[in-house]
Structure 1
């Protein structure tokens, strides 16, 4: 059995922009991935609303810091065949005052942790798929919180791709496939989750074939 760790924020947790609750397990993208891959794969959903790459959130505390939990998470689930790293949207919040390049440098730190870990089989590193988040569109509920994030979100894909090339890891830009909900401009409707799940399934099959 192959183990896949999906490490992300609310886009992995499955935040429903219509209700603020969680999208059904078989309709959020990790659940779609699990159903598509079948019984020979163990898909771990490690999504947390508000998770950043490596920043303590002054409003929510250190537990939103993705770097602090990544190492124990890898150790907890080892051996892992593939890590899907899908973070960066929350770094676009105005209170962090980060540029797109700085967010990419932050995701680089997390990629470095994974590729230098012994969380795979035989104390090797697992495969790593770096996913750039979808673009922020017209904001409604989160307009003030992400006031300057929309323009920066358009730059993340190209910067993340550079990180992937530097480390020779797998890369996918989610903005090429899915679009944020009209309801809040950040999260994905269930139809987009399903679409994303199918596309990631194809990529996972190629990586772990």
Structure 2
């Protein structure tokens, strides 16, 4: 059974609909018993980094996520669920006073805002994904290189451990990690559920690997 974690972040409906194309054995939940018994865990959603981590920590759900990973069970993060896999971020709800917010820390790297006068922020829309380490990637198996994915974000990971990067996106000349895979942990900065057949194949690969 796949548990899609209900931790108070938005944009859930399309994700659940996409998952349902490949399995009926899933639940959108924050129930402790369901989370303990889940074979795999998905962290979906849109929103702010600090809000996502606050919700996980204050609700006690953080412990279930940590326990899940420690047991070697698969974890897949999408959008904000992808960003919180890293060590920290300086994204806050107010945005007026920057502070470093700790993440889950499963993958080495930091989440920072796009910078530069030529950048259009947020990064919204379709962009190419360039595969890295394709022979070692489960998520991108049988997925064409330079396929288009749908992005909506203002922050991206930097200083990421290179061996964990399976795919990158080029945005105004900067190539940032957009797909990561490390042992039982993986994630995408873009929304696979909104990326047509390309994104659906990624979800299918994850689900069929369980």
* TM-score exceeds 0.5: no
TM-score, normalised on structure 2? Answer: 0.39
Q: Using CA pairs below 8 Å that are at least 6 residues apart, which structure has the higher relative contact order?
A: 1
Larger strand proportion, structure 1 or 2? 2
TM-score, normalised on structure 1? Answer: 0.39
